[in-house]
Amino acid sequence: MKLSQFKFNLPESLVANNPSENRDEARLMVLHKDSGKIEHKIFKDVLSYFDDKDVMILNNTKVFPARLYGNKEKTGATIEVFLLRELNKELRLWDVLVDPARKIRVGNKLYFGDDDLLVAEVVDNTTSRGRTIRFLFDGTDEEFRKNIEILGETPLPKYIKRKATAQDKERYQTIFAKHEGAVAAPTAGLHFSRELMKRLELKGVEFAEVTLHVGLGTFRSVEVEDLTKHKMDSEQYIIEQKDADIVNKAIADKRKICAVGTTSMRAIESAVSSNRTLKPANDWTSKFIFPPYDFSIANSMITNFHTPESTLLMMVSAFGGYDYVRNAYEVALKEKYRFYSYGDAMLII
């Protein structure tokens, strides 16, 4: 398939800059793959599509406050440092993006916080905006993390045109987030409230958890027309044996298995055994899913509405069928569904 097949015009007014008032009250579009029917619901109505012993697969990664603002030594110029991932815990080495990049050179020292709570030194260039930095900090890892928490800002995507607030700290995080390591939220999971989770449990729906630490590659644009030439960024994922067992029992019993979000789907599709069951894993994946693609584990999916030409839209189109999803997006535009991280949701069954 070609990149241009995933182009559509998205009015700025449909980009969700804020979350819905309540997590489970965003709108929900339901796509029925067998009949081609489209329904318009509220997210908590998801309850009526799942039964006893069906399984939902959740990504329990936790977003950390990855956006820091500091000053460059000597000039005092303000710089933004976006923490991508920790390369070495003992040496406090981090892979980061810097802005404005042209001013940040190897050897520069960067100061964060009014009283220079953290100081870092640039030790290497990685890409045009990428750097490796070392934090010069003598305290414990716990104290270091606390300082990142104090100084860091919720890493809202750039298309949300406002500063992060205290509300974002809670709402740009799923209620089942456990393992810190993501620089972007697994957004389909943001729609689950504690009350909805409880009601699903009472109905007998089981939850299996996977961890996939979402990187900035999620937002990286595809720049080749021939999709077979696109390379995804690598992301770390972990699947425990107990969670694989829950999913595999549901496969054997022919139950509904729902991947909550493209990140959960990427994780499970990266850990398929030779007999098409889910295996435990602790690895990195750079899997790129686009049509046509034969899915092995999940037979339903919850996702948000994605950007034109994004790898996320390509995966959803592979799962729901290109023409069906294309039509659903046209309906979503007409019905004024809200798009992106804080937007509305889609269930494909």
Residue 342 confidence (pLDDT): 96
Please enumerate in sequence order all residues whose Cβ is within 8 A of that of 217, keeping only pairs 6 or more positions apart, or say none: 232, 233, 234, 235
- pLDDT band of 179, cuts 50, 70, 90: very high
**Shared domain check, 73 and 19:** no
The pLDDT value recorded for residue 45 is 98
pLDDT of residue 50: 98
- Radius of gyration over every alpha carbon of the chain, rounded to an integer in angstroms: 21
Nearest CA-CA partner of 282 in 212, 335, 206? 212
Judge if 320 and 301 occupy the same domain.
yes
Q: Does the pLDDT of residue 219 top 90, yes or no?
A: no
Q: Residue 218 above 80 pLDDT?
A: no
CB distance 232 to 217 below 8 Å: yes
Mean pLDDT of 271-290: 96
Q: Could you tell me if 198 and 313 lie in one domain?
A: yes
State how far the Cα of 268 lies from the Cα of 238, in Å rounded to an integer.
10
Judgement on whether residues 93 and 128 belong to the same structural domain of the protein: yes
Are the CB atoms for 50 and 258 separated by under 8 Å?
yes
Q: 56 and 189 in contact (C-beta within 8 Å)? A: no
181 lies in the same domain as 244: yes
Q: What is the per-residue pLDDT for 157?
A: 87
Q: Would you place residue 209 in the very low, low, confident or very high pLDDT band (cuts 50, 70, 90)?
A: very high
Bridging pattern class, strands 257-260 and 300-304: parallel
> Which tens digits make up the pLDDT trace of 5-38?
999 999 999 999 999 999 999 999 999 999 999 9
Nearest by Cα to 56 from 316, 303, 340: 303
Asked whether residue 159 is assigned to any structural domain, the reply reads: no
Q: Say how far apart CA 311 and CA 219 lie, in whole Å.
A: 8
Query: If you ran DSSP here, which 8-state letter would residue 278 be given?
Result: B
- Same domain, residue pair 244 and 181: yes
pLDDT for position 216: 78
Q: Are strands 61-63 and 93-99 parallel, antiparallel or unpaired?
A: unpaired
Average the pLDDT over each of 27-41, 155-169, 226-240 and give the range with the smallest value.
155-169
Residues 84, 218 within the same domain:
no
* pLDDT tens digits, one per residue of 111-144: 999 888 899 999 998 877 889 999 999 899 999 9
* 245: confidence class by pLDDT, cuts 50, 70, 90: very high
Instruction: Tell me the C-alpha distance between 83 and 289, whole Å.
Output: 26
Percent of the chain's residues with pLDDT above 70: 100
Do 74 and 47 share a domain, yes or no? Answer: no
46 lies in the same domain as 194: yes
Whether residue 61 has pLDDT greater than 80: yes
Cα of 231 vs its chain's centroid, Å: 18
Assigned domain for 162 exists? no
Give start and end residues of each alpha helix (H) in 220-308.
241-252, 262-269
Q: Please return the burial class of 258, using the count of CB atoms within 10 Å of its CB with bins 0-12, 13-18 and 19+.
A: buried
Domain end position, chosen among 124, 153, 182: 153
**The pLDDT of residue 5:** 97
Instruction: Let me know if residue 271 belongs to a domain.
Output: yes
Domain of 135? 67-153
Output phi, psi for 180, to 5 deg.
-70, 140
Name the average pLDDT for the chain: 94
Contact 43, 345 (CB under 8 A): yes
User: What residue type is assigned to position 97 of the chain?
Assistant: L
Same domain, 120 and 212: no
Say what the pLDDT of residue 13 is: 95
Of the three residues 94, 120, 153, the one that is the final residue of a domain is 153
333/215 same-domain check? yes
Q: What DSSP designation does 153 have?
A: B
**Which of these three, 128, 153, 178, is where a domain ends?**
153
Give the count of domains, the chain. Answer: 2
